[in-house]
Amino acid sequence: MEKPNPKRSLSNHRISRRSFMAGVGAGTVCVAASSRLFASGGGEKEEEVINADSLSKLSLHINARDHHLLVEPRWSLLYVLREKLGLTGTKEGCSRGECGACTVLIGHVPRYACLTLALEAEGAEITTVEGLLNGEELGAVQTAFAEEDAFQCGYCTPGQIMSVEGLLRKNPSPTTEEIRIAVSGNLCRCGAYSHIFKAAEKAAKARSK
Amino acid sequence: MYYTEGLPVPETPSPGETPGPWERTDVVGKPRPRVDAYERVSGTAVYPSDIVLPRMLYGAILRCPHPHAQVKKVDTTAAEAPPRVRAVIGPGDPKTDLPWSFRDVKTTLFPKTCRFEGEPVAAVAAETLYQAWDAAGAVRVDYKVLPHVSDERRALEKDAPKVHENGNKLKTDTYSRGDVEKGFFEADVVLEQHYRTEAEVHTPLELHGCVANWDGDVLTIWESTQGVYAVQSRVAEVLGLPLSKVRVIGHYMGGGFGSKLQTSRYSIVAALLAKKTGRPVKSFLPREATFLAMGNRPPSNMTLKAGVKKDGTLTALSFTCLGTGGAYPAGGTSLVDWQIRDLYLCPHVRTECTDVYINAGPARPFRAPGHPQCSWALEQMLDALAEAIGMDPVALRLKNVPDYSQGREGNPPYTTTGLKQCFKEGARRFGWEKARRKTAGQEKKGHLRRGVGMAGSVWFVGGGGPPSTVILKLFSDGSANLNMGASDIGTGTKTVMAMVAAEELGLRPEMIRIEHADTGTTQYATPSGGSKTVPTEAPTVRDAAVQVKRRLLQMAAEEMDLPVEDLRYTGDDIVSRSRPDRRIRIVDISGLKRQGVVVGVGHRGPNPEKKTVNPFCAQFCEVEVNTRTGELRILRFLSTNESGRVMNRLTFDSQVIGGVTMGIGLAATEMRILDANRTGKMVNRNWHDYKLPTSLDVPADIVGVPIEMPDAEANISGAKGLGEPVTIPTAAAVANAVYDAVGIRITESPINPLKLSSLLEQQKKEG
Ligand code: FES
Ligand code: FES
């Protein structure tokens, strides 16, 4: 598998900041308001303003494959992964940056896919939990999670795994304290944390072999 | 090669005979990663929220923003206008505004009077999730906002706004045995204290919701649920469909903790939207809505008066509780007095629990309903009594351990109780006495204080019981398929069941594939909750395996022309007892080859009569309090559990750490905050403001110690429940440890830095 290039991170997309903000807002109502604002804006230079539900072309580079699709500017990367590309290993717990179930790697850095617009992610190397598999074989972190029973319902698990993967790429032999901090943005309501710490330690050892 | 080699296989009981307890086990009880671990860690497990179907629409439910309001007018014109909106439904239409009820109180899917913030008002379906929410936002609703009551402590005041026409009192339950006045008279020390636990919200990581799809008149629902059959029956009832035409599937589910035991209005709404549009509809709640409308552990206001003799004998317990199940009947005080009634020997007990309505989301069972609250009061009281009579807390508890259930009619004995061992072994493994001496003798220099605490518990049920049916199919190559309706809610049910079948058949567990939680293809099961799934399903699976062995023995007897009693099933073959040279390999049995499969149907046998089956637990912890900041660090936890036979040593530990972690939430971080004085709305309906324990809040050192006592009378697997007992005593143990550290008894949860620092401040002032 091609190693992702950490330098390729989030891009500035071509749509204007104004239309971007309109898109992120509360949908049509906000867009209407924004268009009006624009219409009465007098001396401002004409900018491209697009409706919240108009579609833009986008290419995403996920798990070493390119995907070309049409997206609304307001769609989150999480929505696109799960609902449009069938990459449902990345989970949705809150869609507002509270739980970490949606964690993916952008470059080598764990990011909340629900707080990342799909358009923002263009050009970035995105890795999801499916991308840690080698064919049908589990990656080191995945294997350690399975062996240590580092989950119960398993719903927060892909996110936890991606946070640990991100940690180990940066810091191959972390302390328990560093592991705790690395997964502190990933809630586990089943309370599997102490097994997650063990799994991360085990994965670190396995990777360094 | 599919069979375990060289390991003995349990004897097959003759038809009509009940299998005895396993004498030894080679698979059951050992640590084993989950049968579905691969799917869960690879991301290939398909949870209901992962379902994407061709032509699927997205549903969104508009919810009432007020805790109490009349819906005067709903105008959907603007919502219907955009091109990609496919359906809008709301109140008043008899085809879609169907009757709904909370226990015996009737309402509708989109009620005219909303009694809690978050009641459904209208629903839409559109091509994308974003468009669906745009459309829901464009529904115009005229509300007449009504006065609300959001604090149960004010619900019974004379001028309190009424949640229901006939007032806010739902009921008062009383219980009594002996004569408490006499008991207090006999006591050397009598203490009385008020306690309160705050409401907690379940918020499992996977949102509540489903995907609904019609094929003609057949409805399929993929739902994140603890019980597919429970959803099937309610949906069929509300929509007037035969059970056979409602298929509910929930192969994986991302946590429930009791909040996904029951059917919610959203499932009906999704089915109606799907019907109206002729397209599949996916409808999951946004996270905020789950805080409002998907249940809670209700707040409990408890007063406990207790009497004890100098030698530690408890003489009387008098307990009252005021609680609330929210706006509808929902068990606001259910089981909240159970520890008082049953955990410790006490001749004179009186309890009185009053359940009132308030304008807040209805409660749902939350992991050991009522128990952690009651434990918070009782276990802190026991420590206070121990201190008053100068006795060690563990010794006081050991003095009062019963071997029969005092809380139940007729005082039935427990089939087994390891409560005593839980205390003794727990104290030994934790190093209790030494730790107590150390904290008592710690220097009062600096700002860090250590403390240790403990608490015990019994869980009301946990023995499981009928009905349950499972089917075990042995294929012609000797591998097997286990078919059961129960959900695996994360506790490892599937893995345990594969281990049980493997043990009984002498098969390698990997050779068993499980089909489960699908009303279309798997057998009837009650929802997974109450720590009853393993003690219900494990004996059923064992029974099915025994049926398979009996059938194979019969086939072999015919083929070998030997009496069936002469044959013994050994795993990979069947051998004659009288002539050991005569044997046949399972895969060579021509009956099996001809049929292609042998089917065993297992049923759950009855529970023992006149006895009760309950699991027990004791927990010990050490904490450190920062007296400058009021911060609490929990350093280590140890949980001793008597839950009958240990089924899987690895998932046993996962249950323990999960239960302790959740209990730490009750103790230290979680509380629902309602703006009772003004709007009545919930102000912390998100995970930023409603704080769950994170990886930074829990100790890495959480140890599970099984007190293994296979319960031969409970059922033919010897297992009792584990999932609820592990969370009951946690919060109380933390509170007791905080007291040991700083000498402040914190009677109201949660023990957060805000509360602790102000109490420390007060303590300093009072000197
Ligand atoms: S779904 Fe992204 S943080 Fe919760
Ligand atoms: S395993 Fe269920 S939320 Fe973490």
Tokens of B191: 């203490």
> Nearest 5°: phi and psi at B339?
-60, -40
* Whole-angstrom distance, CA of residue B653 vs CA of residue B722: 10
Kindly provide the ipTM of the predicted complex, given to two decimals.
Answer: 0.97
CA angle B166, B172, B173 (to 5 degrees): 145
What are the chain A neighbours of B137 within 8 Å (beta carbons)?
26-27, 29
* Whole-angstrom distance, CA of residue B675 vs CA of residue B289: 17
With a cut of 70, say whether residue A37 has pLDDT above it: no
Q: Which of A28, A86, A193 sits opposite B661 (nearest CB)?
A: A193
- Residue B471 CA: distances (Å) to CA of B18, B599, B601: 18, 7, 5
Report CA B748 to chain centroid distance, whole Å.
Answer: 23
CB contact under 8 A, B695 and A157: no
CB contact under 8 A, B41 and A157: yes
Tokens of A193: 């944390």
pLDDT number for residue B83: 86
Give me the residues paired with residue B195 across strands.
Answer: B302
Report DSSP letters for B70-96, one per residue: EEEEEE-HHHH-STTEEEEE-TT-TTT
* Whole-angstrom distance, CA of residue A152 vs CA of residue A133: 21
Judge residue B677's burial from the number of C-beta atoms within 10 Å of its C-beta, 0-12 exposed, 13-18 middle, 19 or more buried: exposed
Q: Is the Cβ–Cβ distance between B655 and A192 less than 8 Å?
A: no
Q: Is the Cβ–Cβ distance between B109 and B270 less than 8 Å?
A: no
Residues lining ligand 2, Cβ inside 6 A: A 151-157, 188-190, 192; B 205, 255, 490
Helix axes of B730-742 and B432-440: crossing angle, nearest 10 degrees: 40
Model confidence band, residue A209 (pLDDT cutoffs 50, 70, 90): confident
Residue of chain B with shortest Cα separation from A51: B131
pLDDT number for residue B5: 74
| Mean pLDDT over each residue of chain B, to the nearest integer | 97
Mutate to test the pocket of ligand 1, among A79, A90, A91, A95 (most ligand atoms within 8 A of CB): A95
Judge residue B524's burial from the number of C-beta atoms within 10 Å of its C-beta, 0-12 exposed, 13-18 middle, 19 or more buried: middle
pLDDT digits (tens, 9 = 90+) for B581-600: 999 999 999 999 999 999 99
Tell me the one-letter amino acid at B322: L
Model confidence band, residue A43 (pLDDT cutoffs 50, 70, 90): very low
The closest of A168, A176, A189 to A105, measured between CA atoms, is A168
pLDDT number for residue A45: 54
Report DSSP letters for B554-567, one per residue: HHHHHHHT--GGGE
Helix axes of A17-24 and A28-39: crossing angle, nearest 10 degrees: 150
Model confidence band, residue A47 (pLDDT cutoffs 50, 70, 90): low
CA-A92 nearest atom, ligand 1: 1
- The lowest-confidence range among A3-17, A146-160, B416-430, B723-737 is A3-17
Select from B205, B621, B655 the residue whose CB has the most chain A CBs within 10 Å, as the one to mutate to test that interface. B205
Q: How many helices (H) and strands (E) does chain B have?
A: 18, 28
CA-A191 nearest atom, ligand 2: 4
pLDDT number for residue B2: 82
**Length in residues, chain A:** 209
> Nearest 5°: phi and psi at A133?
-75, 145
CB contact under 8 A, A151 and B40: yes
- What is the DSSP pairing of strand B246-249 with strand B218-223? parallel
Query: Tokens 């099937």 label which residue?
Result: B232
Mean pLDDT of B279-284: 98
- Residue B329 CA: distances (Å) to CA of A204, B219, B683: 51, 29, 23
pLDDT number for residue B584: 97
| % of chain B exceeding 70 in pLDDT | 100
Q: Which domains does chain B have, with CATH numbers?
A: 48-146+203-293 (3.30.365.10), 296-462+611-766 (3.30.365.10), 464-603 (3.30.365.10)
3-state secondary structure of A159: helix
What are the chain B neighbours of A186 within 8 Å (beta carbons)?
695
Tell me the one-letter amino acid at B258: G
pLDDT digits (tens, 9 = 90+) for B634-677: 999 999 999 999 999 999 999 999 999 999 999 999 999 999 99
Mean pLDDT of B138-150: 98
Q: Is the Cβ–Cβ distance between B60 and B109 less than 8 Å?
A: no
* Whole-angstrom distance, CA of residue B156 vs CA of residue B323: 11
With a cut of 90, say whether residue B493 has pLDDT above it: yes
What are the chain A neighbours of B52 within 8 Å (beta carbons)?
82-83, 86, 88
**Length in residues, chain B:** 767
Q: Is the Cβ–Cβ distance between A104 and A98 less than 8 Å?
A: no
With a cut of 70, say whether residue A8 has pLDDT above it: no
Residue A191: nearest ligand to its CA? 2
3-state secondary structure of B676: coil
Give me Rg for the CA atoms of chain B: 28
Q: How far is the CA of A83 from the centre of ligand 1 (A)?
A: 15
B267 contact partners, CB below 8 Å, separation of at least 6? B210, B212, B221, B223, B231, B234, B235
Task: List the alpha helices (DSSP H) in B203-359.
Answer: 228-239, 265-277, 287-293, 338-342
